[in-house]
Amino acid sequence: MLRRLTSAVLVLLLATATGTIAEEPGVSAPPGAKLLLEVEAHGVQIYACTKRSDGYHWVFKAPDAALFDTAGRQVGTHFAGPAWQLADGSKIVGEVVAQAPAPDPHAIAWLLLRVKSHEGSGVLTEIDFVRRVDTQAGMAPAAPCDAAQALTEARMRYTARYLFYAIPK
């Protein structure tokens, strides 16, 4: 526990000192990848109370977030897929290829996603990988769900930073 806390403090100190977050092993961008876009997401992670063979559980359903550029302007949305769509009409759908626990144990994991499909034309047309880092909150409800809550949803607020990368061709 002390080691995890020390690591979390170190990551926060590095982020403060450099203005960027340290690379998290396992969810780093591939070598040679070029950062093309950075946005901040503000929204919710949606969980559904679902019956499984071992009882009822909160199961992740989808994100629902607005994306903001570094000037604070909304530039797009993030939703089920997982998908990202920008105001310029470009859209990507990704798949998780790696994840790592967030330094904050109450925050959703950091992710590396590979883009599996593109639509439209615009900034996202060139994107090959997406990283989710600097997550805050968004975990499934701590209280278990039961038959009375079956098929209900919990919308858990979260924030994250999404980094969009292209692999030079």
pLDDT of amino acid 16: 30
Residue with tokens 């009409």: 89
pLDDT of amino acid 24: 58
Residue 22's SS3 state is: coil
Number of domains in the chain: 1
- Tell me the mean pLDDT per 10 residues along the chain, length 169: 33 33 70 97 97 94 97 97 97 97 96 98 97 98 93 96 95
pLDDT of amino acid 169: 82
- Write out the residue range of the structural domain in which residue 149 sits: 2-166
Beta strands at 129-137 and 110-119: parallel, antiparallel or unpaired:
antiparallel
pLDDT of amino acid 154: 97
pLDDT of amino acid 76: 98
In this structure, the number of other CB atoms found within 10 A of the CB of residue 99 comes to: 16
- The CA distance from 154 to 140, in Å, is 8
